[in-house]
Structure 1
Amino acid sequence: MASKMVTNFRRSLSFHNHPSYNSAKPKKTLHARSASLPCRSHPIISQLRDKVDDLNDRATSESGLRTSGWLCDGLARMKMVHDLLDDLLQLPQTRESLRGGGQHADLMEKLLEDFLRFVEVYGMFQTLVLRLKEECSAAQIAVRRRDDSKIIVHSKNLNRIGKEISNLVCSFHSMGKLIMPAVSSHDEEAELIEVINDVIKVTIVISTTVFGVISNSSAFRKPPSIGLSFKKKVKSEEGIKELEEINLDNLLGLRKKTEEDVKDVSKKMHEMEDCIVEIEGSGERVFRSLINSRVSLLNILTQ
């Protein structure tokens, strides 16, 4: 029985809102160049490797307190990498090289499993970020009403969700660990698998950073005890600036505060919610791009 093609998400042009980072040439130009090149590698592979290197440099060169803009920009760059990978997987020569029966069939199956795991993890991440947004909205109401009992409940819920986001990192432990054969100029299939595995590795690096800085932010973490204050202070510097501005456990006793104080707290919480909304949108775009990459890979293996 002929296997069926899996339909990709239709990519929206509005997603590409970082033109300064998108140096890829139009597909038609790339296809025309590839026909005249004496080497077997397609220009998209070189572009993809450059993008992966840039992402790795970005992840390792910056540390300490980050902003939500930095985080969302990293997710946007990672989406571009997966969009470029999807373009590579759509090429006829790529599909021909990777289609069934090759000596690297087992590696291809492992890559497919890794992409499935990415889709699952980012699906869970989207659910958790939605819960963060809902808890933040409910907490704002409790702050305006100066309801300490509700503030305590929402603080515990935010802390619990933050831990769940941190635990997503454990999903990557068995991923990106392919034992790659040496790539020669005559093994196009091995070269393609290698670059796909490089994309998986950099996706793990960026995702781990994203999940870590969110969960380490004080908005989703209990305030430090006296004995652990120094350790917690160091850890809090790895969070997101907009999510370091407030901690619900520190807001108890609002009934004794002035109206101006309550308004100031409400403003910070509104900014925190806006930050979460931005992260939610960036995560959603990455989620769809990951699905596209896996669908393209699956179609190659099942045709």
Structure 2
Amino acid sequence: MVFGFRFSFSLSSLSPGANPCRRRDAPHHMRSTSLPCPVLSPLLDEIRSLRSSPRRDGFARINRLLAALDDLLHLPRTRDTLRRRPAWADRLFDDFLRLADAHGSFLSDAIALKQHLSEGRTAIRRGDPVRLASAARSHRRVEKEIAGLASSIKDLARSPTLAPGIGPDSEIAGIIAEAVAATAATSTEVFLSVSGWGSWMVWAMKRPSKKGLEEAEMVAMEKLEELMERIEGLEDGSGRVFRSLVNTRVTLLNMLTPSL
């Protein structure tokens, strides 16, 4: 991703709840004299929110960020900016493709995780250690795949270098760059949050042979059921993000394609 764009605000300069459209006391504070506040404020709020706590309702807040970004992308000034910087616009288009690919792959992995968790519960219920061990191995393989997805987009999560601005185009470029970085950083954190879930199946394989066996099985099955519900929520959330990312790429394509 291109981080050479510089613009006239810094996300870190705002305290929580501050309104960037009303700050006029210092040139280095986040503000905009040229972008409409109803478009700018919600987007900056979502970027700040994701930066402060990326895992909490991460996918839902990414979706809100992308909805706010869509409003920015539909501004005529944004369209003109992107058309004046075709190399950067193309790279941005590729960045959203990478994010969409990562979420599309996560969806497939989430389905696999649910299957392995379900197989683990069945194996515990039937007292089948061979099947349980197989489910645990398969689950760990998928976890490694998801860790690979996180690694594949971690470079997008680096914040661009922000400095006092140079030209009006750099303001829009910087805002979009921050949105990409926040989306990638949060996606990475949520992807990695599933790491270690399969350890509950490993724990179940080491349960006591007689004393406490029934209680241990009950605890393991309840935990695996809880994890299945959590992965269903992540699957749904990532699916929404995936569709939003695809729509963002369509918006960019329409902006960059000359009208016939």
TM class, shorter-length = 0.7 to 0.9
Q: 2:205 aligns with which of 252, 257, 266?
A: 252
| TM-aligned CA deviation for residue 82 of structure 1 | 0.7
Residues 42-57 of structure 1: pairs in structure 2 closer than 5 A: 42-43=36-37, 44-57=39-52
| TM-aligned CA deviation for residue 261 of structure 1 | 4.1
1:149-168 Cα deviation digits (max 9, x unpaired): 00000010111111111111
Residues 57-76 of structure 1: pairs in structure 2 closer than 5 A: 57-59=52-54, 71=56, 73-76=57-60
Q: 2:141 aligns with which of 148, 160, 169?
A: 160
Identity %: 30
**8 A Cα contact 2:151 2:188, kept in partner:** no
Q: What is the CA RMSD across the aligned residues, in angstroms?
A: 2.7
CA gap 1:291/1:180 in 2 versus in 1, 3 angstroms: farther
Residues 227-266 of structure 1: pairs in structure 2 closer than 5 A: 247-252=200-205, 256=210, 258-266=213-221
Q: Quote the residue 2:198 is aligned against.
A: 220
Residues 1-303 of structure 1: pairs in structure 2 closer than 5 A: 39-43=33-37, 44-59=39-54, 71=56, 73-98=57-82, 100=83, 102=84, 104-175=85-156, 183-184=165-166, 187=168, 189-215=169-195, 217=196, 219-221=197-199, 247-252=200-205, 256=210, 258-303=213-258
| TM-aligned CA deviation for residue 74 of structure 1 | 1.9
**8 A Cα contact 1:122 1:287, kept in partner:** yes
1:130-154 Cα deviation digits (max 9, x unpaired): 1101111121111111100000000
Q: Aligned AA for 1:202?
A: A
Give the aligned length: 225
In structure 1, C-alpha distance between the alignment counterparts of 2:142 and 2:174, rounded to whole Å: 35
In structure 2, C-alpha distance between the alignment counterparts of 1:180 and 1:253, rounded to whole Å: 52
CA gap 1:169/1:261 in 2 versus in 1, 3 angstroms: closer
| TM-aligned CA deviation for residue 176 of structure 1 | 5.9
Give structure 2 stretches of 5+ with no counterpart. 1-16, 18-31
In structure 2, C-alpha distance between the alignment counterparts of 1:182 and 1:296, rounded to whole Å: 29
**8 A Cα contact 1:176 1:197, kept in partner:** no
| TM-aligned CA deviation for residue 45 of structure 1 | 2.1
When structure 1 is superposed on structure 2, of 288-297 and 127-136 the one drifting more is 288-297
Secondary structure of 2:165's counterpart equals coil
**8 A Cα contact 1:86 1:293, kept in partner:** yes
When structure 1 is superposed on structure 2, of 173-182 and 73-82 the one drifting more is 173-182
Secondary structure of 1:175's counterpart equals helix
In structure 2, C-alpha distance between the alignment counterparts of 1:282 and 1:293, rounded to whole Å: 17
Secondary structure of 1:291's counterpart equals helix
**8 A Cα contact 2:136 2:198, kept in partner:** yes
Q: Aligned AA for 1:251?
A: A
TM-score scaled by structure 2?
Answer: 0.77
In structure 2, C-alpha distance between the alignment counterparts of 1:39 and 1:54, rounded to whole Å: 23
TM-score scaled by structure 1?
Answer: 0.67
In structure 1, C-alpha distance between the alignment counterparts of 2:134 and 2:64, rounded to whole Å: 39
CA gap 1:250/1:202 in 2 versus in 1, 3 angstroms: same
